[in-house]
Amino acid sequence: MPKMTFIKPDGSRLEVDAPLGATILEIAHKNNLALEGACEGSLACSTCHIIVADEDFERLPEASEDEEDMLDLAYGLTATSRLGCQIQITEELDELVVTLPDGSNNMLV
Ligand code: FES
């Protein structure tokens, strides 16, 4: 099974199993990580914002326009930001490293 690593806001790293087809948001929840995902993957929030490691960013499929629009609203946006609910694990994404940002903008509350 592919693996992935989360870097938490405090800088600690957690390597976890990344089942094929699961989204980064689902994997974060399964591992009790603080990634909110307020709209449960329906591209209506930006609370599943994650920051992909520079060297891994190119491996990801490109973001859709809707994802880009939502990302523009994310707190602490970076050049390698993505929405965790929109990235599904494939064999190509084995060993992906993502950082959980410190805080989020939740427009649903
Ligand atoms: Fe809302 Fe990802 S969970 S956009």
How many Å lie between the centroid of ligand 1 and the Cα of residue 61? Answer: 17
Domain ranges of the chain: 3-99
Q: What is the pLDDT of residue 42?
A: 95
Ligand 1 — pocket residues by CB below 6 A?
A: 25, 37-41, 43-45, 47-48, 70, 83, 85
SS3 79: coil
Ranges under pLDDT 70 in the chain: 103-109
Query: What is the per-residue pLDDT for 75?
Result: 86
Tokens coding 80: 């390698």
State the closest ligand 1 atom to the C-alpha of 83, by its place in the atom list counted from 1: 2
Query: Under CATH, which architecture does the 3-99 domain have?
Result: Roll (3.10)
